[in-house]
Amino acid sequence: MDLSLHPILETLPKDSKIIFSKPTEGLATNIKLAFLTSIVLTTPLIIYEIWSFIKPALYENERYFSAIIILLGTSLFLLGSFFCFLFVAPVAFNILLNEYTTEVITAFPNISETIGFLSSLILSFGIIFEYPLIIYLLSKLGLTSASFLASKRKYAVLICTICSAILTPTTDVISMMFMLIPLLVFYEIGVLIAKITRKRN
């Protein structure tokens, strides 16, 4: 629990504390956090077991390709999650808690809402970091191309901006930019990946 609350503990206003207002809320939040942690820690094993089940039905080259995809997908998700936990979440909490704290208004974050907010933020970034892999698979299947992605760049910028505004659970521009910039960078990486994949195909 202390590790999970690290992004907010670093930014709590003076005299502020994290609270729970219901008798069962502290216990329920710890159980929820334990459940989420168990899912994160066992996901690689679950994926490996699923892959082991379908492995005998695959050709040798398909086994190698699927293993790389699973490893890369897991790595990208974890990278996005750590990026959010270390850099985005502290900034978001700092703005939300300190920008609106005055001499008469003090923040006392609720433990269950804090964990829920942090979980949704981390999940959003984990999914966003899967984008290059998704573009690679679509290019491999011939469902998209570098020329198509490049021609739709202005629409992509608009869609990325809207998605950043919706997915970011905060109202500040800084947190939104933390999500928007990776989306735009990944889009350009996706164009490059699609071009390289098309040449190899």
Average the pLDDT over 135-161 and give the result. Answer: 86
Percent of the residues in the chain that have a pLDDT greater than 90, as a whole number? 18
pLDDT band at 193 (very low <50, low <70, confident <90, very high): confident
Domain that holds residue 198: 130-201
Structural contact between residues 134 and 187, judged by C-beta atoms closer than 8 angstroms: no
pLDDT of residue 201: 61
pLDDT reading at 34 higher than 90: yes
Average the pLDDT over 155-170 and give the result. Answer: 82
pLDDT reading at 200 higher than 80: no
pLDDT reading at 9 higher than 70: yes
Measured distance CA(182)–CA(138) in Å, rounded: 20
pLDDT of residue 96: 83
Last residue of a domain, one of 92, 122, 152: 122
- Asked which of 27-31, 159-163, 172-176 is least confident by mean pLDDT, the reply is 172-176
pLDDT of residue 5: 92
**Shared domain check, 95 and 168:** no
**Shared domain check, 99 and 80:** yes
Counting Cβ atoms within 10 Å, is residue 164 exposed (0-12), middle (13-18) or buried (19+)? buried
Q: Which residues of 81-100 are buried (b: 16+ CB within 10 A; e: fewer)?
A: bebbbeebbbbbbbbbbeee
pLDDT of residue 13: 86
Q: Based on the structure, what is the number of domains in the chain?
A: 2
Average the pLDDT over 105-125 and give the result. Answer: 89
**Shared domain check, 170 and 110:** no
pLDDT of residue 172: 67
What mean pLDDT, rounded, does the chain reach? Answer: 85
Last residue of a domain, one of 122, 148, 167: 122
**Shared domain check, 77 and 170:** no
Which has the higher per-residue pLDDT, 158 or 58?
158
pLDDT of residue 189: 87
pLDDT band at 155 (very low <50, low <70, confident <90, very high): very high
Average the pLDDT over 141-152 and give the result. Answer: 85
Angstrom distances, CA of residue 170 to CA of 94, 125, 141, 173: 11, 14, 37, 8
pLDDT reading at 14 higher than 90: no
pLDDT reading at 97 higher than 80: yes
**Shared domain check, 155 and 106:** no
**Shared domain check, 112 and 182:** no
**Shared domain check, 81 and 3:** yes
